[in-house]
Amino acid sequence: MPSGHYLLIMKSHYTQFEKAVVNIGVGRLSSQPNFEDKVLPEIQKELSTITGQKPSPRLAAKSIAGFKLRAGTVVGLKVTLRGERMVSFLNRLVRITLPRVRDFRGIDLKSVDKNGNLTIGIKEQVVFPEIVPETSRVNFGMEITVVPKVVKSREQVIATYRAIGIPFKKEGSNK
């Protein structure tokens, strides 16, 4: 089968997905000195390098004294990818990034919810090839959620995820 034909098949599988959402919680990083001036712009720069799109800040809705949180402060960043950017990001995620994750054994099938959304957590952003670990000044994790357009059954959505190359754990493995 010619490689161009393979890409057409892959593109047809990707058209079954509505969007990919990348979320980052700044959490403990926000307590560092000069967070707004130095740390937050660095996180935004690295996230935009990974996704190819500028992240939008997520603000705290109300103040919570127990967490030393004020209303209106940045608590996270979010990027919603659609179309070609989503296809490019998911291709890089499946083919380059996930194999670079340390002790990666596959994604648990429990990561696909009843609506067919696949949620993947990554502990460090340095597994992405766009990030140079030596020059990166901040470490942060991220959560990636892939949302399908139409869900007929959970099994069909899982089959579509497998078709684009998402590596799920084997049925018999316990870890």
CATH at 91: 3.30.1440.10
Above 60 in pLDDT, residue 80? yes
Residue 72 lies in a domain: yes
Domain count of the chain?
1
Q: Across all residues in the chain, what is the average pLDDT?
A: 83
Q: How far apart are CA 17 and CA 148, in angstroms?
A: 4
Q: What's the confidence (pLDDT) of residue 173? A: 54
Q: Look at residues 10, 24, 8, 170 and name the one whose alpha carbon lies nearest to residue 90.
A: 10
28-68 residue pLDDT tens: 777 778 877 888 888 899 999 999 999 999 888 888 888 77
pLDDT of 89 strictly over 50: yes
pLDDT confidence tier of residue 175, bands split at 50, 70 and 90: low
**In which domain, by residue range, is 108 found?**
3-163
In a domain, 96, yes or no: yes
Q: Which helix (H) or strand (E) holds 83?
A: helix 83-92
In a domain, 113, yes or no: yes
CA 104 – CA 166 distance, rounded (Å): 12
pTM over 0.95: no
Cβ within 8 Å of residue 157, ≥6 positions away: 112, 116, 118, 148, 151
Q: Answer yes or no: is 38 within a domain.
A: yes
173 domain-assigned: no
pLDDT of 66: 83
Instruction: Using alpha carbons, list the distances in angstroms from residue 24 to 79, 81, 151.
Output: 9, 14, 26
Phi and psi at 98, nearest 5°, equal -60, -40
Would residue 172 count as lying in a domain?
A: no
User: Is 175 among the domain residues?
Assistant: no
